[in-house]
A and B are shown apart, each in its own frame.
Chain A
């Protein structure tokens, strides 16, 4: 325990305390921080014109992508559990994208979904469909990121598959004897049995959704570069197109690392931390109503 405890305090405790401290300071990384009290928080809640957009985008991606990913992973796991042959091959194929590094996967998707030269729109065009502008269109950029997220759903899928295969067979058999149809067996046997895994997937998904950064950052950078062919791809590209991919962590990154307002960025991070914690707490507390736990060894 103790080596871990040391590591934990140094790599999480110390930065956390420092961030709390910095959030009450003005700090530009060059001159030493100086105390400004609540000014950062006041600016965050009342002045910053982009915060509301960023919050809305983050809530959108969390609210849409997480449920879709959980449902999708669960659906594929159910079909895999039912497949008669080729399970190994299918499982490998569905898991494979999860092994692609997020940056590489995003690069690939922006390329594949290029509205003019990308293979997807080329094929769509051949069958007479006018493909959307994907990462170039403010109303399609977030859905494109959702597609990217669904593609990388392998980890969740494997966990669901293990859980579904782990449901005791005799439960299904007795349910069947009682006259339960396939849907009823799904609702009253499968779902309750795997509910702890669903909770795990939802909590982890929400935490990651609120921190959604890498894919958005890379996609905005690359897509804006495609559009302009210009070398200037820094601050101007964040949130491209038209702030539609400006998620809260992206804004926070912009303030901290391209505007060098580390104190303000720390205040933003604190807000994110508090919100993540509150949301997780609500989900976990409410879950006691629907998650069935097998009596643990106490």
Chain B
């Protein structure tokens, strides 16, 4: 940060007005494009938020602005579905899976990146192949396996593989 500041400082002192103006215009252009892109990126969120505040009938019409605002949707979410249960499931999954990932992959990453051992490249290739295996392939053999372990219907089958 300081290095950049210093060089800008020197550059400012040297540069003639025309160059400085050119740089200013370039910065303006840069920011304009960024702002336009940011608006485009945010638009879907805005549309979805607005729709979340519409009644069902309105959501299926071409109206852009909710009229009237159906704040009640946000209450319904909690009353019509067991959302707390779902949130709990998600929390349980993410906490345990994250812990598992960190504990199990750090030693492997270390082994693959830092240690020299015979077959290191082969092992790395195997990891890459695993990435290429479409998840749908493994579903059936794995389901049979989980069924044998009597863990079907619990969250463990989604947590452990991570």
Residues of A within 8 A of B (CB): 1, 3-4, 7-8, 10-12, 14-16, 18-19, 22, 29, 76, 79-80, 82-84, 86, 89-90, 93-94, 96-97, 105, 108-109, 111-112, 116-120, 122-123, 151, 169, 173, 207, 210-211, 213, 249, 252-253, 256-257, 262, 265-266, 269, 272-273, 276-277, 280
Chain B residue nearest in CB terms to A89: B38
| Residues of chain B contacted by A277 (CB below 8 angstroms) | 128-129, 132
A85 to B134, CA, bound (A): 42
| Complex contact B41–A97 (CB within 8 A) | yes
A94 to B40, CA, bound (A): 10
| Residues of chain B contacted by A257 (CB below 8 angstroms) | 136
| Complex contact A7–B41 (CB within 8 A) | no
| Residues of chain B contacted by A93 (CB below 8 angstroms) | 38, 41-42
Which stretch of B12-20, B57-65, B71-79 is in the interface? B57-65
| Complex contact A117–B60 (CB within 8 A) | yes
| Complex contact B129–A273 (CB within 8 A) | yes
A122 to B62, CA, bound (A): 6
Q: Could you tell me the distance in whole angstroms from the C-beta of A228 to the nearest C-beta in chain B?
A: 15
| Complex contact A211–B134 (CB within 8 A) | yes
Known: A7-B160, A122-B62, A173-B7. A273 touches B33 (CB 8 A): no
Is the contact region of chain A dominated by helix, strand, or loop, or is it mixed? helix
Interface residues on B, range: 35 or more
Known: A82-B30, A94-B41, A122-B64. A112 touches B47 (CB 8 A): yes
| Residues of chain A contacted by B107 (CB below 8 angstroms) | 1, 4
| Segment 117-162 of B: residues with Cβ below 8 Å from A | 126, 128-134, 136-138, 140-142, 145, 160-161
- Nearest 5 CB-CB pairings of A with B: A15-B138, A18-B141, A276-B132, A269-B137, A12-B130
A173 to B161, CA, bound (A): 48
Interface centre among A118, A119, A207, A265 (most CB of B within 10 A): A119
A84 to B30, CA, bound (A): 9
| Complex contact A169–B132 (CB within 8 A) | no
A68 to B8, CA, bound (A): 34
A277 to B5, CA, bound (A): 47
| Residues of chain A contacted by B161 (CB below 8 angstroms) | 7, 11
| Complex contact B141–A83 (CB within 8 A) | no
Known: A83-B30, A111-B51, A273-B129. A11 touches B142 (CB 8 A): yes
Q: Could you tell me the distance in whole angstroms from the C-beta of B102 to the nearest C-beta in chain A?
A: 12
| Residues of chain B contacted by A83 (CB below 8 angstroms) | 27, 30-31, 34
Q: Could you tell me the distance in whole angstroms from the C-beta of A75 to the nearest C-beta in chain B?
A: 9
Q: Could you tell me the distance in whole angstroms from the C-beta of B162 to the nearest C-beta in chain A?
A: 9
Chain B residue nearest in CB terms to A214: B135
B3 at the interface (CB under 8 A from A): yes
